[in-house]
Amino acid sequence: MRSLTNPKWSDGIVPSRLLPMVAGAIVMASVLAANAAAQSATSLPVYEVTGTGIGEVQASKLATALNVPVEKLVARDSVVSFLDAEEYLAIPAVPVTEPAVLEKLRSSSVQERPGLQLAFKAADFAALEKLPVLEDEKALKKTSDALAAAGIHLAPAKPVVGHTTFTASFVSGDRAGTSLSHDLNTRVSYDLFTEAGHPLIGPGAQIQVTYDGSGKVVRLLYATRELKAGPSVKIFSEDEARKRVAAHFPPDARINFKLVYWCPSLRRAPGKKAPLSPKFIIPWYAFNSVIPVTNPKTGAVTETHTKIQMIPATDDPRFVPSVRLKASGRERVEASVEVRGGRAPYTYMWSGSNPAASEQAGASISYEPVVRAVPLHDVASERTSLARRETLGVTVTDANGIMLQENLTLSVIARLLPLGKGGPAASYGTESPREPDFAVDRIGWQNGMATPGAGGGTQVFAWLGDLAWPGDFIEPKPQGTLMPTPWVNGDADYSNWGVNSAAIVLNNTDGGSTGFDSSEPGATIAQYATAALSATDPTVTIGMLNSNETATTQYFNIDLTGSWTPVGPNDQLLWLLMDACDIMDATSPAGTPQQRWGPMFSGLHIMTGWNSEEQLADGSFEQDFAENILGVNGAPQTILQAWFNAAQTAGIGPPPAHGLPAAMGPITTGNVTDKDDYYIGKGSQGPTIMPANVTGWWYIHD
């Protein structure tokens, strides 16, 4: 979904997003009835932040009550956390010692690159099936007793029990055609509410305790703020909210709304290092849409789910800023933004075709627009620039964490990007076709990976807006070639163009259980999404733009099989991060995630995603994930641990705050997997498992 228009100020596009706050909870009575009454209210209070939800003494008492070593607690910016790296998401495993098996694994693995450390562990599935799982009632009692012992008394809340489940399915060998599933842990989290029954959601409203089967705590998170009711504000109705966003969806889209209070992260402002210290938490409408897509060739209907976004439920200028964006220029874009209302100071995040625009943090920027070479003859010609339409965006965050976005499009002369040569072993890339709407997520990821001295490596590519193509995910045939129309026919492994040219890649977009959205050369944000990749249909659907810039849908037969690989010219993709709704849904009419996405693996180690709609978009999840794998705030976590930990930290709560993480990967001879991979330079990796050696698949989800 695109950003939302600010009704007071301009014709620019202004999407609104905000996040976190909280005040704990224990048992709650009649929350549903109160919430129903509150939904029809014409005014609601804003909540004043009077303090953080837990102090040093209480944190120590809580750790003691849960048998967590106090010295292992991480207390930072009023967030208390703990992670047992040995036990969190662990399954029984043993090292591989048989020489013949070791030789086979080594010979197929990517081991010539500096920084890669190979270590092969075999999953013990027989032991996994015997592991105990802590009963829900016991987990609830242990948690409530520990909170009481720490003297923590929470506001209205509903305790919720969840589990992270591991599944293995086998395609060859003695267990071919069989599968097993087992819960790895038991997690108690709290859905937090205001007195009127509205959900408090976001990374600043989280209390979570995760237990292994013996009742040992393997993960703890306490991130809340103390709140008291402040002044009331007039809120507009859900019907008005629907009118404000409806223009940005197709007529047949189902748009879902919920009135919530969004609580920003205590750790930092979005995309920043400094903690955020809001004085007020305001009411918001959280919404997403489900868009049916019919393939006229087959009649098949699939659904795209947009990321959850928000608009303020009030226009009160005391709490909601107004944003005006101005821009001009041809070979160089000059832009500035003016902000009124809300609470100063303001921070700014910029988005344009050139990722260098995002490195500027003031109220005005200057940058050179860029463009990829397409069609192919532009690569070999002496041309150095092209005329194009440039979409520029800015996200403004006030001191209360209120995020507003505005964008505009102008005609420019863009510099033609030269072809690169890929990157070193430690390298990352970014696909973000829905720019500038999703810029905050992309910037959070880039800021985390670029943490000084953390070892994130080199950014090989960052394709934004119409520079993010479906061809980036398609292996060209033959390998290492640049196709005449690479944006559709494939460039996944060409130089620094596609996903295979970096070790780890974030795909920041919208999606569904069977595919995800992309873009094409010349498309504007107003035309998003003009391309889609399907896991179940070899047809890529693309709305091609003709000379008068109107879209006519065309269909291309594209073979995605075996496209994601670290083996081949310029290829080094080990981990693909699908930051899009429902990509990794456990159930789908099209089959399991292994059936939908397994054919695309050709040495890819791990694919992560979401077993639900994705989190509200504020950039905290993406930045936390990057910092987790790099060990910025503690010991480095595995790719899998970092994804799940960051997702749970961003918010497990009542819809639409929920974001259920998931991941999958191959199994090979002797039940060896890549499940426990670390990022390059932070620990070991498993083998590169090519399709001929796949004996099964593992899948893990909340």
Q: Is there a domain that residue 698 lies in? A: no
Q: Is the pTM of this model over 0.85?
A: yes
Residue 143: inside a domain, yes or no? yes
pLDDT tens digits along 137-182? 999 999 999 999 999 988 789 999 999 999 999 999 889 999 999 9
How many DSSP H helices and E strands does the chain contain? 12, 39
Q: Is residue 190 part of a domain?
A: yes
What is the reported pLDDT for 174?
86
pLDDT of residue 288: 82
Q: Is 270 domain-assigned?
A: yes
Q: What is the pLDDT of residue 273?
A: 59
Distance, in Å, from the CA atom of 529 to the CA atom of 542, rounded to the nearest integer, reads: 9
Dump pLDDT digits (tens) for 290-310.
878 776 667 777 777 778 888
Kindly give the parts of the chain with pLDDT less than 50: 1-39, 547-548
Contacts with 489 (C-beta within 8 Å, 6 or more apart), sequence order: 471, 474, 476, 483, 556, 558
β-strands 370-371, 402-416: how paired? parallel
pLDDT value at residue 295: 67
Question: Residue 250: its pLDDT value, please?
Answer: 75
- Residue 543 has a pLDDT of 65
pLDDT for 23 = 28
**What domain count does the chain have?**
1
Q: What is the pLDDT of residue 139?
A: 98
Residue 611, C-beta contacts closer than 8 angstroms, at least 6 positions apart? 582, 584, 585, 586, 660, 661, 662, 701, 702
Does any domain span residue 77? yes
CB of 198 closer than 8 Å to CB of 283: yes
Instruction: Kindly state whether residue 266 falls inside one of the protein's structural domains.
Output: yes
Residue 56 covered by a domain: yes
3-state class (DSSP) for residue 185: coil
In a domain, 208, yes or no: yes
Give the C-alpha separation, 675 to 123, whole Å: 9
Q: 134 and 164 in contact (C-beta within 8 Å)?
A: no
Structural domain boundaries enclosing 234: 16-88+134-162+186-312
